[in-house]
Amino acid sequence: MNQPPQTAHTWQSIRAEVLRRIRAREWPPGSMIPNEADLAIELGCARATVNRALRDLAEAGVLDRRRRAGTRVAATPVRRAVLQIPVIRDEVAALGQTYGYRLLSRELATPPPSVAATLALPEGEVALHVRALHLSGAHPFVIEDRWITPAAAPGILDADLSQVSANEWLVRNAPFTGGTLSFGAVSADDGLAALLGCLPGTALLRLDRTTSDGTQIVTAAALTYHAGYRLQTTI
């Protein structure tokens, strides 16, 4: 059987068509959708284009893809927040403030057991420990307390972190494919209070974040923000 000629469909246009069919209930929640080969023939595009579109929708929680079991419309679609890792300098600039930065400490050291476990480092292996204070105008903005796996961030040991923060250097030089994020309130101890200009005991927002390049953990960072900071993301 002759196949229809392939047109210049993009994976984004295929994604849009799949979403249209789901929203129109042509493919209701829980239903099986046609396989990639059949969709490619029907839509007149390469199978790889269909695959890319379906993978994106699966990652977004719209489709449920199982090996050898096909692809179904998710019965209860997962809504996922999108959180970009910001360059703190850009975050401050977006607030209309002048950015400031101060490196507090930088050392190669053996991380505590909990950090070594997070970084998946062998016992006794050293990592780069960096602490820095970022400013918004004349006011403290966030304290960056970060451990970095040197092998996962080539060049970091030669970087002048007194001039550019580890946050900025890593975002621009160490691509990542995934990670973890948790956040919660911490009570300011004397050290945090002195750096962030608040009273001891003040509730502060702390973000604990890791990033991975797919084979190893690049960094584990604790970011403690000034009192009143609000985290905003998109859904």
Instruction: Please say whether the beta carbons of 224 and 204 come within 8 A.
Output: yes
Task: With respect to residue 83, please indicate whether it lies within any of the assigned structural domains.
Answer: no
Q: What is the pLDDT of residue 81?
A: 58
Same domain, 64 and 150: no
Q: Which of 73, 102, 122 is the last residue of a domain?
A: 73
* Pair 113, 143 in one domain: yes
Q: Are residues 123 and 42 in the same domain?
A: no
Which pLDDT value is given to residue 3?
A: 45
Q: Answer whether residue 134 is part of any domain.
A: yes
110-141 tens-digit pLDDT: 999 999 999 999 988 999 999 999 999 999 99
What's the one-letter identity of residue 103?
L
Report the pLDDT value the prediction gives residue 1, as an integer from 0 to 100: 40
With respect to residue 6, please indicate whether it lies within any of the assigned structural domains: no
Query: How many CB atoms are closer than 10 A to CB 171?
Result: 19
Name residue 96's amino acid: G
The least confident of 2-6, 84-88, 230-234 is: 2-6
Query: Is 117 contained in some domain?
Result: yes
Q: Is the pLDDT of residue 17 over 50?
A: yes
- 107 in a domain, yes or no? yes
Q: Are residues 94 and 57 located together in one domain of the fold?
A: no
Number of independent structural domains in the chain: 2
Residue 80's pLDDT band (boundaries 50, 70, 90)? low
pLDDT attached to residue 165: 97
Mean pLDDT of 93-107: 96
Report if residue 20 sits inside a domain.
Answer: yes
Do both 206 and 96 map to the same domain?
A: yes
Sheet of 127-136, strands arranged across: 99-109, 127-136, 139-148, 217-225, 203-212, 178-187
Statement to judge: residues 45 and 142 lie in one domain: no
% of the chain beyond a pLDDT of 90: 74
In this prediction, residues 61-68 reach a mean pLDDT of 87
Full residue range of the structural domain in which residue 196 is found: 88-225
Q: Kindly tell me if the per-residue pLDDT of 5 is higher than 50.
A: no
Contact 174, 151 (CB under 8 A): no
Structure token digits, residue 234: 């998109």
Q: Are residues 41 and 157 in the same domain?
A: no
Q: Based on the domain organization, do 21 and 108 belong to the same domain?
A: no
> CA–CA separation, 131 vs 198, rounded Å?
19
Q: Same domain, yes or no, for 137 and 36? A: no
pLDDT of res. 75: 83
Read off the amino acid at residue 231. L
pLDDT digits (tens, 9 = 90+) for 23-47: 888 999 999 999 999 999 999 999 9
State whether 209 and 97 are in the same domain: yes
Q: What is the CATH number of the domain that holds 15?
A: 1.10.10.10
Same domain, 66 and 96: no
Each residue's pLDDT tens digit, 185-227: 999 999 999 999 999 999 999 999 999 987 899 999 999 999 9
Q: What is the residue-wise DSSP string for 126-167?
A: -EEEEEEEEEETTEEEEEEEEEE-GGGSTTGGGS-TTTS-HH
Q: Do 96 and 187 belong to one domain? A: yes
What pLDDT, in 10s, does the model give residues 153-194?
999 999 999 999 999 999 989 888 788 999 999 999 999 999
Residue 214: which CATH number?
A: 3.40.1410.10
